[in-house]
Amino acid sequence: MAKVELQYGTDSRLRRLAQEIIVTQQSEIALMQLILEHPLSPQS
């Protein structure tokens, strides 16, 4: 939805929010991928 807002939206406040959402989600996805690639071993 955020990408659609950037593509078609005209309200600068909503476009800025959409951009922030995209950046935040991209960093969260990168972190999740890192965790999946290098899982923590269980603590004993």
User: Which one is predicted more confidently, 2 or 39?
Assistant: 2
Which residues does 21 contact at the CB level (< 8 Å), separation at least 6? 2
3-class SS at 43? Answer: coil
What pLDDT sits at residue 12? 97
What is the CB neighbour count within 10 angstroms for residue 19?
14
pLDDT over 70 (residue 40): yes
Query: Which structure tokens are listed for 14?
Result: 């909503």
- Evaluate if residue 43 carries a pLDDT over 80: no
pLDDT tens digits, one per residue of 15-38 = 999 999 999 999 999 999 999 999
Phi, psi of 33, deg, nearest 5: -65, -40
Enter the pTM of the model: 0.72
- Could you give the C-alpha distances from 27 to 10, 17, 22, in angstroms and in order? 26, 16, 9
| Residue-level pLDDT at 44 | 60
